Amino acid sequence: MCFSATASFVTAGVTGIIGIASLMRASDRSQLLLAAVPVVFGTQQVIEGLLWLNLPMASDRAGVSTLTLLFLLFAEVLWPVYMPLAVLLIEPDARRRTLMLPWLALGAAVATYLAWGILTRPLGASILGEHVVYVTDNKFSFAAGVAYVGVIAIPFVLSTQRVIGLFGTVVLAGWATAYFFYWEALVSVWCFFAAAASTVILLHFEKLARYRVAAGTG
């Protein structure tokens, strides 16, 4: 995330609390992946916070390499599969689920491609101004970037549940902002926007909890 180690750890704490609150409001196993999104983002931000602390220490290159690998596995391999699967599991409309399936398949392909590059090529991370910049030999072209954000955001936009659709819209806006204004630190800055957007997930589960109370089932 941009700014500092403190900002990363604060974001991790806030999203972690949001995630716990979301998990407490989940009423079905199918909702658990979605409810856990803020917790997973929080974990990712802890990793980047540790990178902020370790990058200035030239003596701990092994630690930096491990943290860089972990962050990129979260950002580029986990999310392209996790996100479309999470929204697919909670979608009540069969036709919308059918529309989401190709995005899940594309997400698996994107994750496989990026994982291959991460695991077989040199990785690096450095602090540039107020950002952590990740360096890989992956050819993250504009087309690959569009596919990446598409598999993460479009399934949410396709959802029949309005608050879920809002999450997808916020993610798209965050990606566009990061792409056009913070290109060098794209992965780091976009993940910050996505972590902030995870507050929308709590709104979704709070809304469901209120419906259950009103219906006398929660």
pLDDT at 60 over 60: yes
pLDDT, mean of residues 49-65: 84
How many other C-beta atoms can be found within 10 angstroms of the C-beta atom of residue 211? 11
Structure tokens at 47: 């990793």
SS3 26: coil
DSSP alpha helices (H): ranges in 133-198? 142-158, 162-181, 186-197
pLDDT at 83 over 80: yes
The least confident of 64-73, 117-126, 150-159 is 117-126
pLDDT given for residue 155 in this prediction: 95
Residues 6+ apart with CB under 8 A from 177: 189, 193
pLDDT given for residue 86 in this prediction: 96
pLDDT at 92 over 80: yes
Task: Say how far apart CA 172 and CA 15 lie, in whole Å.
Answer: 19
pLDDT given for residue 17 in this prediction: 93
pLDDT given for residue 188 in this prediction: 66
Task: Say how far apart CA 90 and CA 86 lie, in whole Å.
Answer: 7
pLDDT given for residue 185 in this prediction: 62
pLDDT, mean of residues 207-214: 78
pLDDT given for residue 192 in this prediction: 67
Mean pLDDT for the chain?
86
Task: Specify the amino acid at residue 57.
Answer: M
Q: How many domains is the chain built from?
A: 1
Residues 6+ apart with CB under 8 A from 94: none
pTM of the model: 0.88
Dihedral sign (CA 85, 90, 91, 94): positive
pLDDT at 72 over 80: yes
Residue with tokens 């803020």, as numbered in its chain: 38
Domain that holds residue 111: 5-215
List, for residues 122-181, the tens digit of each pLDDT value.
888 888 777 788 887 766 667 777 898 899 999 999 999 988 998 888 888 877 777 776
DSSP string, 40-78: HHHHHHHHHHHHHHHTT-TT-HHHHHHHHHHHHIIIIII
Please list the helix, strand and coil fractions of the chain in percent, rounded to the nearest 5, in that order: 80, 5, 15
pLDDT given for residue 191 in this prediction: 64
